[in-house]
Amino acid sequence: MNNLPANSGHSRGRGRGNKRNEELNQRQGPQLGQPAQTSAPRQPPVCTESESSGQREQTRKPADLGLAECAEGDARGSVRGRRLLTDVVHSRPSGLITKAGFTGRKITVQTNYYKVQKRPNWTIYQYRVDFSPDVDNTRLRRGLLSEHRQLLGGYIFDGTVLFCTTKFKEDILELVTQSRAGEKIQIKIKSVGTVEAADNQQFQVLNLILRRALEGLQLQLVSRNFFDPQAKVILDRFRVELWPGYTTSIRQHESDILLCTEIAHKVMRTDSLYHVLSKVIRESDDYQAAFKREVIGVIVLTDYNNKTYRVDDVDFVSSPLSTFNTKDGDVTYLEYYKKRYNITIRDYKQPLLVSRPTEKNIRGGVSQLIMLIPELARATGLTDDMRSNFQLMKAMSEHTRLTPNRRIERLRVFNQRLQQSKLSAEVMKSWHIELDTALVEIPGRVLPPEKIVFGNEKRYLCDARADWTFEFRNNSMYKHVDIKRWYVITPRRNIREAQEFVKLCIRAANGMKMQISEPRYDEMSDDRNGNYSQAIDNAFAKDPQIIMLVMKSPNEEKYSCIKKRTCVDRPVPSQVVTLRTIAPRPEKSGGLMSIATKVVIQMNAKLMGAPWMIELPLKGLMTVGFDVCHSSKNKNKSYGALVASLDMKYSERYYSSVTEHMKGQELSDQMSLNMTCALKAYREHRGTLPERILFFRDGVGDGQLYQVVNTEVKFLKDQLDKIYKSAGRDEGCRMAFIVVAKRINTRYFVNMRNPEPGTVVDDIITLPERYDFFLVSQAVKHGTVSPTSYNVIHDNMGLNADKLQMLSYKMTHMYYNWSGTCRVPAVCQYAHKLAFLIAESIHRSPSSGLENQLYFL
């Protein structure tokens, strides 16, 4: 297997950086910035890191060669061809008459969709295009083919696959053209099929046409979306640029073909990875380990070819002086970039970055490693340190958090540019596509506000703020658990701050009619991990209800140590607070009491109390949430968490479980096993099985929907039916299974403002193959609120669409970590919280002794 330079066309999406590793190898780094001796490349050691994982040193190639040099045929076309063959997943239950609700106040909402005025009425002919001798540059291929545009008519060409409205008489059309160097090049165009107007594939072709039209706006393609570098916002102070852009998609909706357009932003760092390398060499004893921690998992952009790659490894053995094989013989990276791009690499000693091909690349026949030069690669996205930089995030939000009226104006400008750009207009016209100039307006409804139930059956009618934090000043919690035995573990130097905060917690609890006794304090000499573990062991021996632990500042390693101890080894509910949060500061005067109130509410929920309740007409209802998080330490591992309520009308208890599964492993068996345990817990608590189960499944992308619809739900339903029939319920289990999606591009507005919480849209912009609706459940103070998509893929509960919508909205009021509504039903948020805790901090299954408590809040 050969390795390629960074121009193989492997575009990468977003990725998450690896968490920091604590152990460093104490070794001295090289001096950067001086050209190395050009005699001979460094000799590799006997065994390199890549060898230890089964990959031997091989001939190196930069990530910039066309794929034709390294694989038979042109793998680019095969990859793109596969992308066009995606099937539409029909998840709408058979026999469904209507998916529209009727409860609530009717309103008109404006969306970020444009109507395609004319439905294309054409047959598209699909051809395979080959060049002889081969041309490895897509742009050059397009240029050579465009010389015959009079013959081809309107067409779309991605480098290998040609779509056009012209049917050629010959099955194989042969054309001859000439390169700039005077070389004759033969072009073979072979018919491979057609795309009829009624085919689903026509929408993928329409999206290709739209992307070609977007090129006329002088936008730059970065990864999958188009951005406008001319309109970039430069944040010099933070060495960051913001590129505004657009995310677009054309689909068949209920009755019309609609174009969804969302405003996007790409974070581009002005520093190259060479700057990162220079910094870690100055600051770290083991620069290699430190550099790997900084860059592995990062998505980088190479400006010379406008491609993005994920950094998967760093090769410290190779350098720009290393050679790789080409059809013209061996060449160094140094020579290659100078000849191809007229780029002079300054530092000859820098290591090379390694980007592994994706599974999609491998399926397309490309298995080579991509090699990148740190000098020429700059990172995209934000690091954890950048996210924790309040000033940076605030500066960015001024440009990225668009208010509805600003967003609508940007959408209007986008449409105007698309219509008025000469090149864009020509592309649309040549394919007989006409786009409306006005945003689509559709009917919506605002569901009735929910009543929040506090202690002594006092009720609060939730207003448009969807926040009842202040109501705790005048009301007690719905159900509280007095805390009589508890420990506070803190470093000795922070004992005074801890004691003052505990006094505030006791005062806040008294106001909510909850009694908290004075705790026992364990003062540690310092905040080393071993001291926390020993203190937890000592406290656990005294059988406390809960343990509060004080950390000086947020620290992933210490937090992980504490949670492993309290969730696995010594199962006891724990409350971690940081000194920065609980210590009095001038700017927080008056805010500490609010923090203490929230901490008390959280501790009460962890001890099976219920801070508040909602009015729920159904009895015997179990709500279930399921979510998946990927491990930060091992990308091949994921953790699926299930959280189920044990009849919310009469009980405030929850059941939770987590299962680990490897990459590519089906979730069906674990999900049904967890549900079996949840039903057992329900029956032990209530004495019977639930009448109905409302299952919310989060963490599903469009690519996974087929598996969920055709495997997970079927397997789960069969298992549950067996349990119900063995209990004498011949009708089986009555269940609704709903896929919840937050990362969507749909937005809607009311009078150029954010819609109220409870605003439902269930027509026109929904999809005909789904039983779906959109729901806004939150109120936001800044920017534009994002609706949540609900896709009902199985339902035999006996409830109509209206009741399912209202139940879903009710469930967004029950997340006890926030006294307000959340974007998804509470059980979904609980499942996410639990899966995230295990994947990020614990990396193993928690103790079964905690499965009936919300210990993960």
| Residue 747 near residue 111, CB atoms below 8 Å | yes
Q: Which of 107, 424, 440 is closest to 257 using CA atoms?
A: 440
Distances (CA, A) of 209 to 115, 140, 166, 174, 302: 16, 19, 16, 25, 26
Q: How many residues belong to the chain?
A: 857
Tell me the torsion sign for CA atoms 128, 131, 137, 143.
negative
Mean pLDDT on 8-16: 38
Distances (CA, A) of 612 to 278, 453, 633, 834, 850: 54, 6, 37, 21, 22
Q: Which of 48, 679, 35, 97 is closest to 346 using CA atoms?
A: 35
> Does CATH number 3.40.50.1820 belong to domain 618-739+792-850?
no
How far is Cα 580 from Cα 574, in angstroms, rounded to an integer? Answer: 18
pLDDT tens digit sequence for 196-205: 766 677 888 8
Kindly tell me if the per-residue pLDDT of 764 is higher than 70.
yes
pLDDT score of 806? 97
Give the CA angle between residues 385, 387, 389 to the nearest 5°: 70
Give the bridge partners for 420, in sequence order.
Answer: none
Distances (CA, A) of 604 to 122, 207, 467, 584: 64, 51, 19, 24
Read out DSSP for 296-357?
A: TT-EEEETTTTEEEE--EEESS--TT-EEEETTEEEEHHHHHHHHH------SS--EEEEPP
pLDDT band of residue 828 (cuts 50, 70, 90) is: very high
Kindly tell me if the per-residue pLDDT of 366 is higher than 70.
no
Q: How does 569-607 read in b/e, with b if 16+ C-beta sit within 10 Å?
A: ebbbbbbbbebebbbeeeeeeeebebbbbbbbbbbbbbb
Kindly tell me if the per-residue pLDDT of 365 is higher than 90.
no
Give CATH 2.170.260.10 domain extents, the chain.
1-30+43-88+200-401
CATH of span 1-30+43-88+200-401: 2.170.260.10
Give CATH 3.30.420.10 domain extents, the chain.
618-739+792-850
Joined tokens for residue 679: 């039903």
Kindly tell me if the per-residue pLDDT of 766 is higher than 50.
yes
Mean pLDDT on 276-287: 91
Q: Which residue has the higher pLDDT, 164 or 478?
A: 478
Read out DSSP for 358-388?
A: PHHHHHTT--PEEEE-GGGEEEES--HHHHT
CATH topology of domain 480-606: Rossmann fold (3.40.50)
Q: How does 688-699 read in b/e, with b if 16+ C-beta sit within 10 Å?
A: ebbbbbbbbbbb
Joined tokens for residue 120: 């294309």
Q: Which residue has the higher pLDDT, 102 or 69?
A: 102
Instruction: Record the pTM.
Output: 0.83
pLDDT score of 71? 27
Residue 484's Cβ-side half-sphere holds a number of Cα atoms within 13 Å equal to 2
Classify burial at 434, counting beta carbons within 10 Å of its beta carbon; exposed 0-12, middle 13-18, buried 19 or more.
middle
pLDDT tens digit sequence for 667-716: 667 888 999 999 999 999 989 999 999 999 998 888 888 889 888 999 99
Mean pLDDT on 619-643: 88
Distances (CA, A) of 424 to 25, 156, 216, 585, 647: 56, 13, 5, 57, 57
| Residue 757 near residue 777, CB atoms below 8 Å | yes
Mean pLDDT on 271-295: 91
pLDDT score of 362? 66
Read out DSSP for 511-531?
A: HTT--BPPPEEEEESS--HHH
CB count, 10 Å around CB of 682? 23
pLDDT score of 3? 64
H helix or E strand, kind and range, residue 795: strand 788-795
Read out DSSP for 97-145?
A: -------SEEEEEEEEEEEESS-----EEEEEEEEES----HHHHHHHH
Q: Which residue has the higher pLDDT, 53 or 761?
A: 761
How far is Cα 318 from Cα 50, in angstroms, rounded to an integer? Answer: 12
How far is Cα 36 from Cα 320, in angstroms, rounded to an integer? Answer: 10
Distances (CA, A) of 277 to 318, 572, 814: 15, 43, 47
pLDDT band of residue 164 (cuts 50, 70, 90) is: confident
Identify the residue whose tokens are 């910039």. 64
pLDDT score of 421? 92
How far is Cα 763 from Cα 768, in angstroms, rounded to an integer? Answer: 9
pLDDT score of 613? 94
| Pairing of β 257-272 and β 240-252 | antiparallel
Write down the mean pLDDT value for the chain.
84
Kindly tell me if the per-residue pLDDT of 844 is higher than 70.
yes
Joined tokens for residue 603: 């501790």
| Residue 320 near residue 348, CB atoms below 8 Å | yes
CB count, 10 Å around CB of 64? 25
Percent of the chain topping pLDDT 90: 53
pLDDT score of 69? 28
pLDDT score of 666? 58
R_g (Cα) of the chain, nearest Å: 30
Give the CA angle between residues 583, 587, 592 to the nearest 5°: 45
Least confident of 56-70, 209-223, 242-256: 56-70
Q: Which residue has the higher pLDDT, 58 or 188?
A: 188
Residue 695's Cβ-side half-sphere holds a number of Cα atoms within 13 Å equal to 29
Kindly tell me if the per-residue pLDDT of 523 is higher than 60.
yes
pLDDT score of 10? 39
Catalytic residues: 627, 698
> Does CATH number 3.30.390 belong to domain 123-196?
no
How far is Cα 4 from Cα 369, in angstroms, rounded to an integer? Answer: 6
Least confident of 18-27, 121-130, 434-443: 18-27
Joined tokens for residue 550: 């004080």
Mean pLDDT on 553-574: 93
| Range list of H helices, 526-663 | 529-540, 556-564, 579-582, 591-606
Q: What's 729-744 look like in SS3?
A: CCCCCCEEEEEEECCC
Tell me the torsion sign for CA atoms 481, 484, 485, 489.
positive
Joined tokens for residue 332: 């160094």
Give the CA angle between residues 507, 518, 583 to the nearest 5°: 60
Mean pLDDT on 779-787: 92
Q: Which residue has the higher pLDDT, 10 or 839?
A: 839
How far is Cα 308 from Cα 8, in angstroms, rounded to an integer? Answer: 11
How far is Cα 171 from Cα 189, in angstroms, rounded to an integer? Answer: 8
- Residue 266 phi/psi, 5-degree rounding, is -110, 125
How far is Cα 564 from Cα 246, in angstroms, rounded to an integer? Answer: 43
pLDDT score of 586? 58
Q: Which of 693, 623, 692, 687 is closest to 652 using CA atoms?
A: 623
pLDDT score of 396? 92
pLDDT tens digit sequence for 110-150: 999 999 987 667 778 889 999 888 877 777 888 888 888 88
Give CATH 3.30.70 domain extents, the chain.
123-196
Kindly tell me if the per-residue pLDDT of 278 is higher than 60.
yes
Contacts of 701 (CB under 8 A, 6+ apart): none
pLDDT score of 197? 64
Classify burial at 743, counting beta carbons within 10 Å of its beta carbon; exposed 0-12, middle 13-18, buried 19 or more.
exposed
pLDDT tens digit sequence for 258-271: 999 999 998 988 88
Contacts of 607 (CB under 8 A, 6+ apart): 481, 483, 545, 546, 573, 853
How far is Cα 667 from Cα 152, in angstroms, rounded to an integer? Answer: 48
Least confident of 284-293, 366-375, 762-771: 366-375
pLDDT band of residue 308 (cuts 50, 70, 90) is: confident
| Pairing of β 369-372 and β 3-5 | parallel
Kindly tell me if the per-residue pLDDT of 369 is higher than 90.
no
How far is Cα 688 from Cα 677, in angstroms, rounded to an integer? Answer: 14
Joined tokens for residue 620: 């015997």
Q: Which of 197, 196, 145 is closest to 173 using CA atoms?
A: 145
pLDDT score of 70? 30
Least confident of 360-364, 441-445, 501-505, 731-735: 360-364
